[in-house]
């Protein structure tokens, strides 16, 4: 099975296997579309190597929001210095990508349940009048990437429980696959149990904690 062929199989698994679900009447339960969106968010964070068990501080929130935008296919919303030089007039040369202010702050609020502090930005980020300028070289310099980061995989949700206060707890296991060059078959290359807590505000499920336990593979 090739890497391209594994994605239809993974999608079929995700749609066919229903997680154990306990629902409270206090808040609406997430529908299928929302669950798929939440598990994709968690999988992206796992690929980023990011988890947190406490509220994010200002620098962490800024950092993870911009990395999430870059990794989660939001680059089509970005402006680049070489394409729009007028937008980067009087901006230091090392800042070469621009994200609209409203988009960045929406992701921070609706994904990570926080507000960007304009006085406590992470390194490699500059706030202009209408948005955030990013030094991509500086941002990537601080990212730990290895050969396994971009391997195909998915998040299998095993339990979805809604508490009496409306908090949503999702637990399951990430799985990552790699091609065995000797057999030509895909093999399980990595697995990591996870647990995430969400709260619902303004019709959106917002992540408040995310814990991962990496498993060693033989």
For the chain, the structural domain boundaries read 1-49+146-218, 55-143
Number of Cβ atoms within 10 Å of the Cβ of 175? 19
175: nearest Cα among 65, 2, 14: 14
* 1-49+146-218: CATH, from 3.10.450, 1.10.150, 3.40.720, 1.10.1740: 3.10.450
- How confident is the model at residue 172, as a pLDDT? 95
Q: Is the per-residue pLDDT at 44 higher than 80?
A: yes
**pLDDT, tens digit (0-9, with 9 covering 90-100), for 159-214:** 999 998 889 999 999 988 887 887 878 877 788 899 999 999 988 999 999 999 87
**Stated pTM of the model:** 0.76
- How confident is the model at residue 139, as a pLDDT? 75
- How confident is the model at residue 47, as a pLDDT? 84
Coil, helix or strand for 150? coil
Q: CA 102 to CA 178: how far, in whole Å?
A: 38
80: nearest Cα among 136, 142, 140, 143: 136
H helix intervals, 116-164: 136-141
**pLDDT, tens digit (0-9, with 9 covering 90-100), for 131-146:** 999 998 887 765 555 5
pLDDT band at 29 (very low <50, low <70, confident <90, very high): confident
């Amino acid at each position: 099975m090739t890497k391209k062929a594994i994605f239809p199989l993974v999608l079929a698994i995700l749609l066919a296997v229903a997680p154990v679900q306990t629902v409270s009447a206090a808040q609406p339960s997430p529908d299928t579309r929302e669950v798929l969106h939440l598990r994709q968010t968690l999988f992206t964070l796992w690929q980023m190597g990011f988890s947190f068990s406490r509220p994010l501080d200002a620098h962490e929130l800024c950092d993870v929001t911009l990395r999430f935008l870059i990794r989660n296919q939001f680059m089509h919303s970005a402006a680049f210095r070489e394409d729009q030089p007028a937008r980067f007039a009087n901006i230091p040369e090392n800042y070469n990508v621009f994200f609209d202010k409203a988009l960045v702050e929406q992701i921070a609020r609706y994904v990570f349940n926080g507000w960007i502090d304009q006085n406590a930005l992470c390194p490699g980020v500059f706030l202009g009048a209408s948005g955030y300028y990013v030094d991509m070289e500086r941002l990537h310099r601080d990212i730990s990437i290895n050969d396994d980061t971009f391997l195909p995989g998915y998040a299998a949700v095993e339990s979805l429980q809604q508490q009496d206060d409306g908090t949503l707890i999702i637990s399951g296991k990430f799985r990552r696959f790699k091609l065995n060059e000797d057999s030509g078959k895909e093999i399980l290359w990595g697995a990591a149990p996870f647990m995430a807590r969400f709260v619902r505000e303004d019709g959106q499920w917002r992540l408040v904690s995310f814990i991962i336990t990496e498993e060693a593979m033989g």
